[in-house]
Chains A and B, each alone.
Chain A
Amino acid sequence: MGPGSLRSAAEAGADQLRIGVFVCHCGTNIAGFLDVDAVAREAGASPGVVYSVTTMYACSESGLKEISESIRKHNLNRVVIAACSPRTHEPLFREVCGEAGLNPYLVEMANIRNQCSWVHMDDKERATKKAAALVRMAVAKAARLGPREPIEVDVDRRAVVIGGGIAGMNAALDLGDAGFDTVLIEREPDLGGRLRGLYRLYPSGREAREVLEEFIPRVIEHRHIEVLTATELTGVRGFIGNYVLTVRTGGDERELEAGVIVVASGADVLEPHGLFGYDGERVITQLELARRMSQGSVEAGTIVMIQCVGARLPEREYCSRVCCANAIKNASMLVEEDSGRSVYVLYRDIQGYGTEFEDWFARAREAGVVFARYDPERPPLVDSRGVRIYDLLLGEEVLLPADLIVLSTPMVARPDARSLGQMLRVPVDKDGFFLEAHVKLRPVDFATEGMFLCGAARWPCRISEACAQASAAASRALVPLVNGKVVVEPVVVDIDEAICRGCGLCRDLCRYAAIEMVENERGLAVARVNQVLCKGCGVCAARCPSGAMTLFHFTDEQIRAMLRAARPALLAGARHGDEGGSAGGVR
């Protein structure tokens, strides 16, 4: 059956419902706080349910075996698992049911652990009542699920990497080394990104220039990598396996085709205009300090570094993570270079992490770097004589006569990250950094299939982290490239062209350009969806004025049935608008 047809049990008629319900104890996680037997009993009496049991650990090997055996033995054609979250466990249960011969899309979960037993621990009676309701709702939905086939698409076995910093170069090298042609796009005339402006690097102490001299030739000379510098991305269309990117180099426009895209566009550094007397001469940033250090032109006897400038504030809550290590490294080197120098680091908290940090911290203290904590409520004051700081230990204001004041400012999202995100149809977070599909489970994937991210584009990070993420993103991107085919989730919309009025609203609303207006055989405009492009958000279906759209797995019919099942009292009497009556009496 093709992906386009949406056959629910109710429509199928002949397809008799045989729903199996498995109520999980999760040890005592669920069974300790609600009556699982009562929940299973009540579910057993629901329309369409032919089998209802409890199980100790549904996701354990024996639990899964029990489910697949029951599917065969009782000839189940829908399965409801009342357990934990579909966000973590649905893939597993779908797979097991698939192996047992049941279409994986005929499985529904009721989350009676995270949404019930764990959050209503002191009221067993009401928790049991609620769990029963959640199971009824899942049963009502399951009764209206239809089998689906995953959508399979061919993959163009080429890659594009956006951004030629350390992360992007690394990702391109990994992809190229695996034998896949990769185009690396960099908008600046040269590769290297932020490292072009840095001097000696934390933690190795190596010069950034040396690192780049090692990397850049490998990238440029790689037989599977094409580097396009001074090149801007101007447009992206397509979907996983079949992206088309338009790029402009000088006056030339060109189209690139690729199966996957890796975003490694890095980050900016905050310019602290108006903060602590920043003037670029006597009051400078760490970036300017790096430049002066590389030229050997730091002429100052007393240097004061101020940490967290423009960071960890209400308007920019995050910690930039590299500044503490960077300041400690620079402070140590400045004193080691000239022991006559005094270097102070004024900090809010020292955010050190990683195995090398303590060594650097000890090295700085040994060299004689002075660390002093300041209170963000009473920040240091910069005037013509130096820096005034309220010493928290002494409980009084102290003047540090400084020749040079260095501000540690955070990495910030590039101002055009949002528009790049819009072009790629991927989200950014509230600070403008790119947002991964899942912070723990899918940290280098975008929610959009076939797009990946790494490096400072995602969050302030060190080079080692940028490189680790780049290799992670490359290996994630290699999955579709190696397979040559991808399967996309068939949670997509279906448009009934007989009902569509051709208003075009859905096309305008869709952020994935999945809908186009076409002419039907009677010459009328109707909407047509490309189900490979559709991401299944349902925005179009929620707004279609004629009800022509159905979003598989979240259909109006299914949700209405859940709403009806939410209250037991209303289940019995037939209600107006009850279109799902076929669920009853088919045992």
Chain B
Amino acid sequence: MREDWEPDIIVFACNWCSYAGADSAGVSRLQYPPSVRLIRTMCSGRVSASLIFEAFRQGADGVLVTGCHIGDCHYVDGNERCQEMMEMTIRLARTAGIDERRLGLEWISAAEAGRFAAVMAEFVERIRDLGPMSREDRSVSSRTPGGVEEAGGARR
């Protein structure tokens, strides 16, 4: 892998726990690699397979979904729905030939500043090891949910 290559990583974070964890990591000045871009959702249960594949299509080398620990979701159990969605997404990724290690799911609470920074560092390292996603993989991901075929029908 080229030494100077920086992966592009999308991190979805739920407002109540993981995004707050990211805020706390900042307050504590915990350093982690700058390759991650956070997208806030109210709950991890908002993230869909099609958004994850869209992230890959748009150039992400890794996608990490984060939410409250099981039992702590502010919408009762949206994170359990998220977990089911991730399991399905990983299956789809596998059939589409995307290395499933490019997808991650982690529970990080508002208080876990250290854990937030550590999870970011680990995920960036994992994607660095995997290297850039190939063009072929990206084009394959257009046959996954939310891709060209499906999106047409859903759009208004």
Contact = CB atoms under 8 A, between A and B. Distances in A.
Contact of A542 (B26, B58, B60, B85): B85
A437 B73 CA distance: 11
Contacts of A536: 42
Interface in A79-116: 85-88, 111, 113-116
A411 interface: no
A560 B145 CA distance: 13
Given A114-B23, A422-B76, A539 B46 contact: yes
B37 interface: yes
Interface in A305-328: none
Interface in B60-105: 60, 69, 71-78, 81-82, 85
A537 interface: yes
B8 A566 contact: yes
Given A116-B34, A430-B71, A554-B42, A547 B19 contact: no
Interface string B123-134: 000000000000
Interface string A249-281: 000000000000000000000000000000000
A148 to B, nearest CB: 15
Given A119-B32, A120-B34, A547-B153, A539 B75 contact: yes
A563 B53 CA distance: 10
Contact of B59 (A137, A566, A579): A566
A111 B38 contact: yes
A560 to B, nearest CB: 5
A577 B46 contact: no
A134 B22 CA distance: 14
Contacts of A346: none
B74 to A, nearest CB: 4
A90 to B, nearest CB: 10
B54 interface: yes
Interface in B26-47: 26-27, 29-34, 37-43, 45-47
Interface in B122-156: 142, 146-148, 151, 153-156
A472 B16 CA distance: 22
A495 B61 CA distance: 33
Contacts of A385: none
Contact of B25 (A114, A129, A134, A567): A114
A560 B142 contact: no
B60 to A, nearest CB: 7
A511 B81 CA distance: 11
Contact of B154 (A113, A547, A576): A547
B42 A439 contact: no
Contact of B39 (A120, A496, A559, A570): A559
A195 interface: no
Contacts of B108: none
B154 A499 contact: yes
A437 B68 CA distance: 13
Nearest to B151: A577
Interface in B1-28: 6, 8, 10, 15-16, 19-20, 22-23, 25-27
Interface of A: 85-88, 111, 113-116, 118-123, 126-127, 129-130, 133-134, 137, 421-422, 425-430, 435, 437, 439, 447, 491, 496, 499, 509, 511-512, 535-539, 541-543, 546-547, 551, 554, 556, 559-560, 562-564, 566-567, 569-570, 575-577, 579
11 contacts: A87-B23, A115-B22, A119-B32, A120-B34, A539-B78, A543-B48, A543-B81, A554-B46, A563-B51, A563-B55, A577-B148
Given A537-B42, A537-B75, 4 more contacts: A119-B31, A538-B43, A542-B82, A547-B153
